[in-house]
Amino acid sequence: MGPFNASHKAYASYGSQKSKPWIELSKAAYLHNAAQISKMANGKPVLAVLKNNAYGLGDVQVGQILNDAPAIAGIAVVKDDRAIAMRSAGITKPILLMGDFDGALSESLLSHNITLSIYSRDSFEKIKQIAATRAENVNVALYIDTGLGRMGLPYQEAGKLAEEIASSADLSITQTFSTLTTPQDFAREQIARFEEITKHMDKKGIPSGTRHLAPSYSLLDLPASHQDAVRPGILIHGSFPLADMPEAKQYPLEIPYRLKAPVIRLEKLSTGDTIGFSRFYKVTKDEWIATLPIGWADGYNSGAENGAKVLLGDQLFPVVNVNASHANISLGEKTSVKVGDVATLIGPDRAEITPEGFGKLVKGHNYLQINYKESIPKQIYETF
């Protein structure tokens, strides 16, 4: 329980006010998902991608939970300061930084044992200079662009750079990685490009360390992508990368979080009234409208006003308007809902409010929960 005390405390003072949204996380559900992903990957080690603040769910909090998961071999992030924040929060699993870093943080990153990625010639020079000042060898990951076209060393140049890295006395390659695209035929081509480089390294006697390529989609779609480890993000949070994937039945995941917000205003609006700046929602029959203190600026998807539902008590109600800081819910002509009642906007409790159910109702993709603001408080439960 140690690491969770801080967030419990933060929540206790917050909970009494009930004026803001919050996120609840289930430790048991996260551990279940980690174990399931390990099965999906035929037992290969799982590197949990907790970038973008763990898709808005709290990188430190999810990282603390996964720190106890036997299936999780390590954590990967994209931002330097988040890697350090996780270490400062007591996370001990290996951490890989898949992005750039601020030179001023290099000491801190290395003293916190965070593996840096070489993703360009410039980043190689930068890391080489830092390594020259350190007593111990610096472990690096060779990040190769095999065709995603976004990050990494172009695959045509990676073999030669691997040789240069290997010849610098202060650096050791402990990981070699790339990221696959979704179309299977091109992903296969990417794997071939990747393996050509690792074979070249083998031939030259250069260790490539742990090799990994597979985000959630490839992990499911292409077993050849598993290599030495897999690197899922969204699966950890209980969502499949696409709706209705057959693997969802074979390896059921749990939705490990709830997004909640209290009702802060309740008014009966009359026929002809409207809600929102653009008068988006028109009241056609007198009805009770609840206001929740959460909007798109908090990361709640604004598409919710096009058909999403929230759970209040044991009933689902439609979202009829989303502004920057508020969302409105239609409760109908009569209601027993009161100010202070708590709505669940996303969670495991009903099919309509799971991330996938939400995505279907608003005709959007499964990554819609990617944006929750870091300022939304998190509360960790042992189980839901």
Binding site for ligand PLP (CB under 6 A): 49, 51, 98, 179, 215-217, 231-234, 241
In the complex with ligand PLP, the residue whose CB is nearer, 248 or 266, is 248
In the complex with ligand PLP, the residue whose CB is nearer, 119 or 288, is 119
Q: Please, what is the minimum distance in Å from the beta carbon of residue 79 to ligand PLP?
A: 12
Q: Please, what is the minimum distance in Å from the beta carbon of residue 297 to ligand PLP?
A: 23
Cα–Cα dist 289/304, whole Å: 16
| Element containing residue 292 per DSSP (H, E) | strand 287-292
Q: Please, what is the minimum distance in Å from the beta carbon of residue 230 to ligand PLP?
A: 9
In the complex with ligand PLP, the residue whose CB is nearer, 159 or 241, is 241
Q: Please, what is the minimum distance in Å from the beta carbon of residue 241 to ligand PLP?
A: 5
298 phi and psi angles, rounded to 5 deg = -85, -5
Which residues, in sequence order, are CB contacts of 265 under 8 Å at separation 6+? 290, 291, 339
Q: Please, what is the minimum distance in Å from the beta carbon of residue 139 to ligand PLP?
A: 18
In the complex with ligand PLP, the residue whose CB is nearer, 94 or 241, is 241
Determine the residue with CB nearest ligand PLP: 233
In the complex with ligand PLP, the residue whose CB is nearer, 30 or 217, is 217
In the complex with ligand PLP, the residue whose CB is nearer, 191 or 289, is 191
Which residues, in sequence order, are CB contacts of 384 under 8 Å at separation 6+? 24, 26, 28, 29, 258, 348
In the complex with ligand PLP, the residue whose CB is nearer, 87 or 231, is 231
| Element containing residue 328 per DSSP (H, E) | strand 327-332
| Residue type, position 182, single letter | T
Among 55, 26, 61, which Cα is nearest to 258's? 26
Q: How many CB atoms lie within 10 A of CB 22?
A: 20
In the complex with ligand PLP, the residue whose CB is nearer, 367 or 381, is 367
Cα–Cα dist 372/300, whole Å: 7
Q: What is the DSSP string of 329-346?
A: EEEESS----TT-EEEEE
Q: Please, what is the minimum distance in Å from the beta carbon of residue 220 to ligand PLP?
A: 10
| Residue type, position 194, single letter | F
Tabulate helix, strand, coil % of the chain (nearest 5): 40, 25, 40
Cα–Cα dist 236/312, whole Å: 27
- Give the CA radius of gyration of the chain: 23
Q: Please, what is the minimum distance in Å from the beta carbon of residue 370 to ligand PLP?
A: 9
